[in-house]
């Protein structure tokens, strides 16, 4: 058993931490307050190789592996969860195309996702009536001989207004022909394709610098070569992408939680009540102890899942375990951070309130906590 990072992993972690502290941290509160999409920051992340950490070097990625990706996500999330989610989805899209794409698709999109030419990538699976249950989707892709024609809509699409390429899921067979998830295929749709419209951004509780918007497809024609993977094989692609994505969101939660702990430690040592630093009180100490213990447990779960993925071993259950634990722990930790900060935890002057708002979504997107528990229990019961 090996708990030490290798040279590449340490290097990626250091580069991400340095950039996060130096460049992102001073802007993070303003990005949240003004709901500013961090476009320039993402361009710099591309320059550091952080938009395609686990995409092969031959396709323009950093080829640094799944563990390095998890570490980089933690570092960016610890300062700005809004930037981190755009980074996470772009990495996920790059990996999906690198894994399932034809040579032409890989060469067309992976280097552009990695170097920032695409700005970011987007992942369009959810619909108004189909979130946890993608088999309920109603967006269709019709075969018109020389083209696929998409009709329908998508909901909650991260980075929708800025993405250079969307991975889009649509029905290629009716529910009667191929019920549920068996009639879904996956397509690559460049941003700006005629017939694709990005709707009004959602007004969210947290990750307010992230753009989340619906998509409308109205007779949107894409070439036959835009099919990603096998016809009707889209559900498998979505599930494989989400398994990896869950390591990313675990890492986002871990980053937020680490920031909460660091800020709480420093505040507890400075803040005095009844003539003593509040860190002297056992009530505060126990919170800090619980925060650190849960943080480390979350980290071990997430890095184990990343380690398995990197070695090509099954990691779906472990990714779900990491996600459910890390994201729920991050919510508990962020709540403790607000409590430790007292009244100052409730106002914008300190980051604790932003961390609590940002942590909240992590138990919802890329599969809710309930769905992670379904995945874990199914795998236990089928074993």
Ligand X SMILES: Cc1cc2nc3c(=O)[nH]c(=O)nc-3n(C[C@H](O)[C@H](O)[C@H](O)COP(=O)(O)OP(=O)(O)OC[C@H]3O[C@@H](n4cnc5c(N)ncnc54)[C@H](O)[C@@H]3O)c2cc1C
Q: Residue 227 class from Cβ within 10 Å (0-12 exposed, 13-18 middle, 19+ buried)?
A: buried
Residues 6 or more apart whose Cβ sits within 8 Å of residue 346: 338, 353
Q: For residue 206, report the phi and psi dihedrals to the nearest 5 degrees.
A: -135, -170
Q: Which of 10, 34, 117, 132 binds ligand X (CB under 6 A)?
A: 132
Say which residue the tokens 């918007």 belong to.
213
Residue 156 interacting with ligand X (CB under 6 A): yes
Structure tokens at 176: 């009667």
Is position 362 an interface residue for ligand X (rule: CB under 6 A)?
A: no
Q: Does 264 bind ligand X (CB under 6 A)?
A: no
- Main-chain dihedrals φ then ψ at residue 347, nearest 5 degrees: -120, 165
By CB under 6 A, what part of segment 55-94 binds ligand X? 89
CA distance 341 to 195: 49
Q: Which residue is nearest to ligand X (CB)?
A: 131
Q: Which is nearer to ligand X, 75 or 366 (CB)?
A: 366
Backbone angles phi, psi at 50, to 5 degrees: -90, 0
Query: Tokens in use for 287?
Result: 């919170």
Nearer to ligand X, 204 or 317 (CB): 204
202 is catalytic: no
158 contributes a contact to ligand X by CB under 6 A: yes
Under the binding rule (CB under 6 A), the answer on residue 361 touching ligand X is yes
29 binding ligand X? (CB under 6 A): no
**Candidate ranges 45-53, 91-99, 268-276, 357-365; the one touching ligand X (CB under 6 A):** 357-365
Taking the complex as a whole, how short is the minimal distance between the CB of residue 278 and ligand X, in angstroms?
A: 34
Q: Quick one: which of 124, 279, 298, 319 contacts ligand X (CB under 6 A)?
A: 124
- 63 burial level (CB within 10 Å; 0-12, 13-18, 19+): middle
Residue in 54, 83, 91, 126 binding ligand X, rule: CB under 6 A:
126
Which single residue is written with the structure tokens 């552009």?
112
Return the residues of window 200-259 that contact ligand X according to CB under 6 A: 204, 212
Binding site for ligand X (CB under 6 A): 89, 123-126, 131-132, 156-158, 204, 212, 361, 364-368, 370-371, 374
State the catalytic residues.
Answer: 366
């Amino acid at each position: 058993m090996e708990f030490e990072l290798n040279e590449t992993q340490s290097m990626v972690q250091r580069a991400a931490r340095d950039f996060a502290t130096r460049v992102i941290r001073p802007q993070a509160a303003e990005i949240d307050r003004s709901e500013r999409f961090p476009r320039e920051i993402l361009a710099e992340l591309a320059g550091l190789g952080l938009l395609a950490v686990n995409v092969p070097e031959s396709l323009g990625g950093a080829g640094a592996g799944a563990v390095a990706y998890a570490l980089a996500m933690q570092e960016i999330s610890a300062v700005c969860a809004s930037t981190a989610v755009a980074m996470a989805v772009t990495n996920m899209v790059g990996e999906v195309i690198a894994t399932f794409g034809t040579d032409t698709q890989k060469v067309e999109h992976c280097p552009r996702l990695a170097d920032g030419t695409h700005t970011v990538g987007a992942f369009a699976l959810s619909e108004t009536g189909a979130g946890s249950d993608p088999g309920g989707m109603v967006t269709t892709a019709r075969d018109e001989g020389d083209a696929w024609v998409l009709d329908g809509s998508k909901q909650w699409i991260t980075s929708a207004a800025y993405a250079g390429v969307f991975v889009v899921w649509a029905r290629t067979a009716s529910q009667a022909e191929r019920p549920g998830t068996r009639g879904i295929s996956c397509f690559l749709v460049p941003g700006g394709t005629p017939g694709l419209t990005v709707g009004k951004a959602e007004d969210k509780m947290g990750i307010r610098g992230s753009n989340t918007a619906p998509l409308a497809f109205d007779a949107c024609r894409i070439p036959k070569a835009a099919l990603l993977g096998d016809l009707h094989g889209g559900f498998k692609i979505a599930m494989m992408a989400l398994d990896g994505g869950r390591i990313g969101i675990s890492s986002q939660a871990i980053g937020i939680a680490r920031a909460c702990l660091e800020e709480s430690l420093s505040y507890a040592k400075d803040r005095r009540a009844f003539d003593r630093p509040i860190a002297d009180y056992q009530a505060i100490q126990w919170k800090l102890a619980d925060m650190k213990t849960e943080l480390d447990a979350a980290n071990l779960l997430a890095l184990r899942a990343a380690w398995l993925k990197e070695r090509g071993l099954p990691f779906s259950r472990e990714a779900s375990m990491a996600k459910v634990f890390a994201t729920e722990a991050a919510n508990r930790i962020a709540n403790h951070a607000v409590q430790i900060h007292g009244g100052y935890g409730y106002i914008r002057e300190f980051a604790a309130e932003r961390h609590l708002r940002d942590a909240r979504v992590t138990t919802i997107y890329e599969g809710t906590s309930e769905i992670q528990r379904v995945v874990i229990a199914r795998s236990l019961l089928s074993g």
